[in-house]
């Protein structure tokens, strides 16, 4: 596929990536609930059924059947891309991911693999309620054998889908629904698939290192810009790939920024992946002073937008906590 530049929003980038892999990789299948003819609950897969026929199809409402069939298809040489409508619905089919997909390569002594991609979305949006707003990435990151990615912008959304389909491990790609219909941006398409993993330095500064991923990255950047305007520039590292995680880049940055580290995520703080990031940096011996975890309190997410907004870290809260981290030395 020749390299090109297109202007799309986040959902358009995902759609373009899916169209590319369906065209380039004949082993791919794309299926899930309301994904084909309706075009997906958020319209992300619109038009792909008409273009690729029976390789794109709708399924019954059975997450266990969707994931179980994907594991079997992957073991037999296909590269299925399946959609779990909300990450919360993943929980009824965790056996298929934890006990089956993640174990295929190990229990077959490397004779088989499960190159499947599971697309899902999570996070708060107005009125999404407690059963449609959980941030569950830490559950998947606790399972050896699963790759996990959480992009925050159209370019990464496109690149990660392409890389995930070419990966021989099962990959969980987690979107945030609030990103789907954001501003259109120019992205580069047609580049060769990149290996999974890697991070981005989104801002540079010597005062501290801030690590983040997913939709809350945009609030972190807002806070970083505010601090920079006040002569307290921080380095912001976005890690769209959480497994494999770019530990080396984070350690190097923390060492360069005086041993000061903050991690920001939309998931609740207890047991969140931020604790693992801090532990890895602490084990490297480069922390100086108290690291900071910024996340949601250990609470269910309420349906009322005003109450939900009070729980999810805002740009003001992030800037305030980063300011205190820096001033504490």
pLDDT (0 to 100) of residue 240: 98
Sites in the chain below the pLDDT cut of 70: 127, 329
Instruction: Give the tokens for residue 150.
Output: 């959480």
* CA–CA separation, 7 and 42 (whole Å): 19
pLDDT (0 to 100) of residue 126: 74
Nearest one of 188, 319, 329 to 257, comparing CA atoms: 329
pLDDT (0 to 100) of residue 202: 98
Residues with catalytic function: 132
* pTM, two decimal places: 0.96
pLDDT (0 to 100) of residue 140: 97
Cis peptide bond N-terminal to 244, omega within 30: yes
Tens digit of each residue's pLDDT (9 = 90 or more) over 187-215:
999 999 999 999 999 999 999 999 999 99
* CA–CA separation, 18 and 52 (whole Å): 11
pLDDT (0 to 100) of residue 125: 78
Tens digit of each residue's pLDDT (9 = 90 or more) over 89-139:
999 999 999 999 999 999 999 999 999 999 999 988 776 777 778 999 999
| CA-based radius of gyration for the chain | 20
Please state the separation of Cα 86 from the chain's center in Å. 13
């Amino acid at each position: 596929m020749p390299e090109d530049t297109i202007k799309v929003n986040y959902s358009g980038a995902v759609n373009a990536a899916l169209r590319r892999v369906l065209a380039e990789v004949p082993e791919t299948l794309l299926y899930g609930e309301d994904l084909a003819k309706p075009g997906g609950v958020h319209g992300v897969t619109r038009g792909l059924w008409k273009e690729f026929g029976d390789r794109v199809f709708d399924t019954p409402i059975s997450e266990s059947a969707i994931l179980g069939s994907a594991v079997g298809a992957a073991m037999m040489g296909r590269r299925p891309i399946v959609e779990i409508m909300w990450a919360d619905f993943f929980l009824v089919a965790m056996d298929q991911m934890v006990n089956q997909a993640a174990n295929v390569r190990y229990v077959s002594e490397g004779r088989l693999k499960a190159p499947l991609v599971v697309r899902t979305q999570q996070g708060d949006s107005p009125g999404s309620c407690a059963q449609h707003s959980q941030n569950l990435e830490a559950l998947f990151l606790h399972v050896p054998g699963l790759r996990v990615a959480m992009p925050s912008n159209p370019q990464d959304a496109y690149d990660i889908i392409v890389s995930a389909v070419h990966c021989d491990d099962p990959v969980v790609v987690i979107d945030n629904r609030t990103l789907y219909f954001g501003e259109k941006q120019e992205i580069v398409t047609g580049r060769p698939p990149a290996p999974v993993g890697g991070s981005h330095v989104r801002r540079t500064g010597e005062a501290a290192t801030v690590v983040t991923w997913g939709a809350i990255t945009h609030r972190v950047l807002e806070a970083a810009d505010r601090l920079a305007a006040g002569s307290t520039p921080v380095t912001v590292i976005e890690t769209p790939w959480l497994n494999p995680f770019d530990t080396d880049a984070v350690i190097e940055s923390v060492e360069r920024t005086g041993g000061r580290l903050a991690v920001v995520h939309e998931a609740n703080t207890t047991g969140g992946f931020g604790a693992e990031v801090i532990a890895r940096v602490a084990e490297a011996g480069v922390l100086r002073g108290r690291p900071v975890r910024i996340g949601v309190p250990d609470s269910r997410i309420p349906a009322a937008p005003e109450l939900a907004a009070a729980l999810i870290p805002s740009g003001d809260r992030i800037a305030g906590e980063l300011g205190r981290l820096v001033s504490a030395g």
